[in-house]
Chains A and B, each alone.
Chain A
């Protein structure tokens, strides 16, 4: 399951980030990495951005990035 398939307001744990090195590093510097628990806040229609809570950080990421983040409920 990836981040775009999770319902709004649901919490989940990151299993893997199937992106390039650059994306993994960028997310890592913000504290978004495998093993971390995140909460999805909203998603925008027509493949719009997804917003999440990770720790005390609120983050908006593009649909494509969200798809590369594999999570488990």
Chain B
């Protein structure tokens, strides 16, 4: 396709929402800067004309200072039409980029997004006048509801290179004059959202607020997750699905095939059948917690809370040689490590990325694994579970402190825009939830099924027994754990949550459970995060990080065995 439309604008002006509206391609959008890290491409047909639409990462200027901005500048070279998306509630700053874009002499359209918000913020913009002055089409839009999107499509043909002439050295003066002539501000009241914003960003009130939010996140995730498992999915599985499958295949021949499909025993978690364990684990155990976590996370993202956490925790992260923005990938890692590792792209230096990656991988298990530790650990008591998380957290912090000493460079300073709070729309939330759930089923679930299948095959051909002897004995001796821990470790590379689940039949005591849980959280990233890491950081860094983490896992387990 030769017709390329670029969506360009400041961070967090809603480019991704406009993109979804134009192309029908679902992309994740949130209420904070830097959500778009992967460049999304989609297509749009207007009449007979076909266009490729590119969602360019947000940039404040065309003078590249960060990776995201460099990408934007590179992309400008290939576009032959720019749709410049602006935040109507922050016209002055957004127009600064517009002036820079005008100088590129590429046909352009201007979109004033968040048009609906201008009313209650007491802003009135004469967009027709703006259009007259800068001589390119200006379209007011509310992308999230879809208002004005058809107008964009109708007017793509009108896009033109601006003949607006100005002295670029005086860009801010020009912007000021532009804003003065098209925008009127009426008195703005201090709104509830302003007050809430202050409370959550002020250290005295913000830290308790952050802890409260974290606490409620866990309560809600547990409530929804556990509720779905024990009241809905587990009964459905055990009362209807499982007996039906067992009956259907009970007389299947040959025996080998039967064993692959439904396993040797009728106990779900020990059968390793493709239609039993491989369905039960992802759908019944993991999915409810993933769903619940993403529900809460999506709400916090769209509300605009995450950058405030970055400010609140900047101090603590600074001691680790990072700045507060690293807290966003680390928090995402509480859910799933893969999106968390991708989010490290917003960090500028290699050293920050390495330390943040280590924190992501070590500070806490992912949500499914957390869920498994909670459900299996329940019989050992709350203190056992608490101990696991506390030890993991301490190890992660100590490791980052040491890394900070060894890796050269200064902790960069925080520099982040704080978005206004916006009440998330239910439709957008559900859409995002659907998008992430689809991702889980298309990417993670096949991996789980493959993992269960491989373990079953290895068991059938007796390979597991062989490894158990050769690697299992020394490891088991060293860590004071049963020899079967090795097959669990193998599984753990495929799915970390499953590895914890597989501890259930081993009959561990409390101490063994704590040690093996910590070991299984740490020793290796799961296969999905391993390959993400490889893609993001290259082979050398990936193997270094993996080696460091593996060593720490062994040492920790060894020491804990002597201490506890």
Contacts and interface: CB of A to CB of B under 8 A. Distances in A.
A61 B414 contact: yes
A58 B202 contact: no
A55 B90 contact: yes
B93 A25 contact: no
B97 to A, nearest CB: 8
A61 B413 contact: yes
A39 to B, nearest CB: 11
Contacts of B417: 30, 57-60
A12 interface: no
Contact of B93 (A31, A44, A47, A48): A31
A42 B61 contact: no
B420 A31 contact: no
B106 interface: no
Contacts of A48: 203, 314-315, 318
Contact of B415 (A45, A55, A65): A65
Q: A interface, by DSSP: helix, strand, loop or mixed?
A: mixed
A22 B65 CA distance: 8
A58 B416 CA distance: 9
A70 B468 CA distance: 67
Interface in B366-422: 412-420
Given A48-B203, A65-B415, A58 B92 contact: no
| Residue from A22, A28, A45, A49 with most neighbouring chain B CB atoms (10 Å) | A49
Contacts of B89: 56
B307 interface: yes
A18 interface: no
A57 B96 CA distance: 13
B324 interface: yes
A29 B198 contact: no
B415 A26 contact: yes
A64 B172 CA distance: 26
A15 interface: no
A45 B318 CA distance: 13
Interface residues of B, number: 35
Contact of B201 (A22, A41, A57, A63): A41
A60 B307 contact: yes
Interface in B195-223: 197-198, 201-203
Contacts, number: 95
Contacts of A31: 92-93, 96, 172
B93 A46 contact: no
Contact of A60 (B60, B61, B93, B414): B414
A57 B11 CA distance: 12
A25 B357 CA distance: 29
A51 interface: yes
A56 B307 contact: no
Contacts of B311: 44, 49, 51, 60
A62 B311 CA distance: 9
A42 B307 CA distance: 15
B323 interface: yes
B310 A25 contact: no
B418 A59 contact: yes
Contact of A49 (B197, B198, B414, B419): B414
B63 interface: yes
Given A33-B172, A51-B311, A42 B65 contact: no
A71 B457 CA distance: 71
B203 A42 contact: yes
A62 B198 contact: no
B92 A61 contact: no
A29 B61 contact: yes
A57 B415 CA distance: 13
Nearest to A33: B172
A61 B96 CA distance: 21
Contacts of B418: 51, 58-60
B92 A55 contact: yes
A26 B65 contact: yes
Contacts of A65: 413, 415
11 contacts: A29-B63, A31-B93, A42-B201, A44-B312, A44-B315, A48-B315, A55-B90, A57-B417, A58-B419, A60-B324, A60-B414
Given A44-B312, A44-B314, 15 more contacts: A22-B65, A29-B60, A29-B96, A31-B92, A44-B311, A45-B315, A51-B201, A51-B418, A57-B417, A58-B197, A58-B418, A59-B417, A61-B415, A62-B414, A64-B413
9 closest residue pairs by CB, A with B: A62-B413, A29-B61, A29-B60, A58-B418, A56-B90, A48-B315, A60-B311, A31-B93, A62-B414
